[in-house]
Amino acid sequence: MRTLTAPRFATSSAIWILVLILLIAPRYLPAMEDNEQPLYLEADSAEISEAKAVSIYTGNVLVRQDDMQLRGDRVTVHHDSEHNPVIIRVTGTPATYRQRMERDAQDVEAEARHMEYDRAKDEITLIDQVVLSQGKDTFRSDRIVYDRAQARVKAGTIAAGKERVKIRISPAHR
């Protein structure tokens, strides 16, 4: 009988977890929204500084673009010189994200204390108490980064997080 040493077992486990993440992650990833679609914002108050190219929205904030929705207590939008949103930061208790997936009937939903969408990098970062779900399947970590341009997911320590990644996959009911 072969005994695995701790380093070899840890490496094997890490590879298995990475393969599992790569297999199920596409089910959780947001559909590519069309950045040419208008961005709609609703809030209790808004402060817009054209000189700083920043707008801040507070109080039950809703951001919509096509099939994507972000909600939070505070949203900060950084704009480029043509007033286009470049970075959208959302904070809340929790901040929430919802995206209708074209290939699936169920929405992808996420909640975290902080969310950041960097349109230039085409990257979404979910930070602190992150729960990502679709149907009964869940993905938990303190930090999840998705590079949409490279179709690359990082979670936990590889994404500068401090907690282990926890995944729940429910059996498919047909």
CATH topology of domain 6-168: lipopolysaccharide transport protein A fold (2.60.450)
pLDDT tens by residue, 99-130: 776 665 678 788 999 999 888 787 889 999 99
Query: Phi and psi at residue 24, in whole multiples of 5°?
Result: -95, -20
Domains of the chain by residue range: 6-168
Looking at every residue in the chain, the average pLDDT score rounds to: 78
pTM (predicted TM-score): 0.73
The predicted structure's pLDDT at residue 26: 47
pLDDT tens by residue, 18-46: 444 444 444 444 444 456 778 899 999 99
CA neighbor of 145 nearest in space, from 25, 65, 61:
25
